[in-house]
Chains A and B, each alone.
Chain A
Amino acid sequence: MERVAIRAKGLVKWFGDEATRTIAVRDASFEAHYGEMLYIVGPSGSGKTTLLSMVSGILKPNEGSVSVEGRDLWQMTDDEIADLRLNKIGFVFQDYHLFPRLTTAENVAIPLILKKMEWNKALEVALEYLDIVGLKDRAQLPPVKLSGGEQQRVAIARAIAGRPDILIFDEPTASLDGDTGRKIVEFIKTKILNRERCIIIVTHDSRIDEYADTIMKMEDGKIIGVEKKTEFAPGVEQ
């Protein structure tokens, strides 16, 4: 039986007051499993990012619940959610959000430093992760000196440095050319995904569909279809 990493039930999110209310996500329910690479796809404005934010503890839903490894996310305090994000969830943002005033190694070390690891030790560990993404030789450069693909890999190294169980990618190929984008996703699939890790990718890049285990389609805030390429049995939470 596969373990469930995230279970979302009846998520609803709207913005604005009653007169100007816009419903971004309507009654969204799904499960993401360890060992699974789940895509959330759909056109712009379909609610992908909003859904992703709700399941990763960044945006509180108006209705519904999210459980991560069996714990109800939105019953936690702000600090508990911050701790959960730090220890369980790794983010790769669309614009990477690397710190231009820090070196590449220091950027990768940020989650470790937030976990109170000693500075030099954190930099040592960061080098190991830069090695995994093939950028150890760029460790002392500022991110602005790197290409888009390299910056993407630095962002991945930063996301996995904290050894999270759940990795969330927001449009990982949006800023990359087709070939680089495919290489990055292939790298994620082959090197980053494992049986102990769940990866959720928000994308509207159909060229990388071949790497997905599950593709969840959204439109107008609704999940309109789920295409399973790898079957995950309804599982139990850890």
Chain B
Amino acid sequence: MSGILKIALKLLVNDKSKFAALLIGITFAVFLMVMMTSMFSGILARSSSSVYNIGAKIWVMDPAVNNASSSIPMPDYVLSTARSIKGVKYAEPIYFGGAQVKLKSGVYQAVTVVGLDNATLYGRPNLIEGNIADIYGENAFFVAKDAEYSKLENPKVGTEFEINDFRGVVVGLAQVASSGLFGVPTLYTTYSRAITYIPSTRFTTSFILIEPKSEADTPYIQEQIHKLGYEALTRDQFVKKITDFYTYKTGIGMNILMMTAISFIVGLSISGQTFYTFILENLEKFGALKAIGAKGSELISMILFQASFTALIGYGLGVGLASSMIILARIRIPDYAAQVTYTTLGFAFVMVLIIAGFSSYIGVRKVLQIQPFDIFRG
């Protein structure tokens, strides 16, 4: 580190109260921004959990469908037509429904029931216990062993429960990539059993899952499905549609955005004001440095260094604090929907750079305005 920056560092950190106030301001802002965006990121990831867990390449749905948990059943001809489209390797229906299960303890618990195509079980999860063929057994269900699993009183293979007055038996435990957004456990069974056990509408196909022969066939398949008045989306397109829905049509995105903006403004205000006061208090000293022979560029580098140093330390503390809070929250609430992603970190970093830039700007302006003559004149 060059000597001039070392002086800048000592001027900053040796002013313990100001340095602490600056760090608290930036740490607080980063903490809030990371928490807000992590929660949002967690919500978005959970909202698309079914899409990731099922893993189909193309999803056919009613154009009005916004997410996997609120499907609009489609008539059977859509499935038949989809199977006949050139480029479709296979197309299978999948059923999503909600039900209440009565556990052994007598407690009722809401669940999501996924009905997999009887013949192919397309979209089935990986089993960590049990045999896939056991799903064809009487009243058989797989249970997803995710964060909601304990809400079913930690069932094992052979555990029985009631679902709409039908008997249900756990025949396997499944591993899934992600838990759902609404905090309910997921059961997998066959399509026919699902629509039998759960009261259904006239049409029962929630989505049609398509495996194209090749990636190149996807646009043609989408076009043909579109001609039917339905929508065929790739996995990424469906995830984006769900993300857009939660971001722009539910108020969640706007609320998170507002909270993040408030956090940013609070951080900017505290840090900007404190840094400005710090510069004001040291203004004569900067003037003295100028008189001694420091160049304007050297003074600017000192201020930029001070602001960047504080911002980076505050950023690290803020990210650490937010991560710790999320880890602590997860200990208490296993399905706590928040995740720190590179995007979240990058966003907070950019915001911190803006705070540092703003603080530097007002500091640099003030320092460049001070004339050594003012120091002489007192």
Q: Are B6 and A119 in contact (CB under 8 A)?
A: yes
Q: Are A101 and B3 in contact (CB under 8 A)?
A: no
- Mark the stretch among A92-100, A187-195, A229-237 that contacts chain B: A92-100
Cβ of B372 within 8 Å of any chain A Cβ, yes or no, is yes
Cβ of A27 within 8 Å of any chain B Cβ, yes or no, is no
A116 proximity list for chain B (CB < 8 A): 2-3
Number of residue pairs A-B, CB distance < 8 angstroms: 87
Cβ of A113 within 8 Å of any chain B Cβ, yes or no, is yes
B3 proximity list for chain A (CB < 8 A): 109, 113-114, 116-119, 122
- Mark the stretch among A66-74, A77-85, A211-219 that contacts chain B: A77-85
Q: Are B375 and A93 in contact (CB under 8 A)?
A: yes
Q: Are B378 and A95 in contact (CB under 8 A)?
A: yes
Which residue of chain B has its CB nearest to the CB of A95? Answer: B378
Q: Are A49 and B7 in contact (CB under 8 A)?
A: no
CA distance A95 to B284 in the complex (A): 10
A53 proximity list for chain B (CB < 8 A): 372-373, 376
Looking at the complex, which one of A58, A82, A97, A109 makes contact with B294 (CB distance below 8 Å)?
A82
B289 proximity list for chain A (CB < 8 A): 110, 114
Cβ of A106 within 8 Å of any chain B Cβ, yes or no, is yes
Cβ of A111 within 8 Å of any chain B Cβ, yes or no, is yes
Cβ of B226 within 8 Å of any chain A Cβ, yes or no, is no
CA distance A119 to B285 in the complex (A): 20
Rounded to whole Å, the gap between the CB of B52 and the closest CB of chain A is 54
Cβ of B10 within 8 Å of any chain A Cβ, yes or no, is yes
Rounded to whole Å, the gap between the CB of B301 and the closest CB of chain A is 12
CA distance A117 to B3 in the complex (A): 8
CA distance A158 to B289 in the complex (A): 12
Rounded to whole Å, the gap between the CB of A131 and the closest CB of chain B is 21
Chain B window 271-304, contacts with chain A (Cβ cutoff 8 Å), 1 for yes, 0 for no: 0000000000000110111111111101000000
Q: Are B376 and A83 in contact (CB under 8 A)?
A: no
Q: Are B292 and A114 in contact (CB under 8 A)?
A: yes
Looking at the complex, which one of A58, A59, A89, A113 makes contact with B7 (CB distance below 8 Å)?
A113
Cβ of B14 within 8 Å of any chain A Cβ, yes or no, is yes
Q: Are B7 and A97 in contact (CB under 8 A)?
A: no
Which residue of chain A has its CB nearest to the CB of B285? Answer: A99
User: Interface centre among A49, A95, A97, A170, by most B CB within 10 Å?
Assistant: A97
Q: Are A58 and B293 in contact (CB under 8 A)?
A: no
B295 proximity list for chain A (CB < 8 A): 78-79, 82
Cβ of B371 within 8 Å of any chain A Cβ, yes or no, is yes
Chain B window 191-231, contacts with chain A (Cβ cutoff 8 Å), 1 for yes, 0 for no: 00000000000000000000000000000000000000000
Looking at the complex, which one of A86, A97, A109, A162 makes contact with B288 (CB distance below 8 Å)?
A97
CA distance A10 to B282 in the complex (A): 36
Looking at the complex, which one of B14, B290, B296, B376 makes contact with A101 (CB distance below 8 Å)?
B14
Q: Are A94 and B14 in contact (CB under 8 A)?
A: no
Cβ of A87 within 8 Å of any chain B Cβ, yes or no, is yes
Looking at the complex, which one of B293, B371, B372, B376 makes contact with A114 (CB distance below 8 Å)?
B293
Chain B: number of interface residues, binned into ranges:
20 to 34
Q: Are A58 and B292 in contact (CB under 8 A)?
A: no
Q: Are B288 and A82 in contact (CB under 8 A)?
A: no
Rounded to whole Å, the gap between the CB of B274 and the closest CB of chain A is 16
Q: Are A78 and B376 in contact (CB under 8 A)?
A: no
Cβ of B4 within 8 Å of any chain A Cβ, yes or no, is yes
CA distance A58 to B373 in the complex (A): 6
Cβ of A39 within 8 Å of any chain B Cβ, yes or no, is no
Cβ of B20 within 8 Å of any chain A Cβ, yes or no, is no
Cβ of A224 within 8 Å of any chain B Cβ, yes or no, is no
CA distance A59 to B376 in the complex (A): 10
Chain B window 365-378, contacts with chain A (Cβ cutoff 8 Å), 1 for yes, 0 for no: 00000011101111
Q: Are A49 and B292 in contact (CB under 8 A)?
A: no
A34 proximity list for chain B (CB < 8 A): none
Which residue of chain A has its CB nearest to the CB of B284? Answer: A97
Given A53-B376, A93-B376, A114-B4, CB of A106 within 8 Å of CB of B292? no
Rounded to whole Å, the gap between the CB of B375 and the closest CB of chain A is 6
User: Interface centre among B4, B6, B291, by most A CB within 10 Å?
Assistant: B291
CA distance A94 to B3 in the complex (A): 26
Q: Are A111 and B11 in contact (CB under 8 A)?
A: no
Measured CB to CB, the residues of B under 8 A from A are 2-4, 6-7, 10-11, 14-15, 284-285, 287-296, 298, 371-373, 375-378
For the complex of A and B, the 4 pairs showing the least CB-CB separation, nearest first, are: A86-B293, A113-B3, A101-B14, A97-B288
Given contacts A86-B292, A113-B4, 11 further A-B pairs with CB under 8 A are: A58-B372, A85-B291, A86-B293, A95-B284, A97-B284, A97-B375, A101-B15, A106-B10, A109-B3, A114-B4, A114-B293
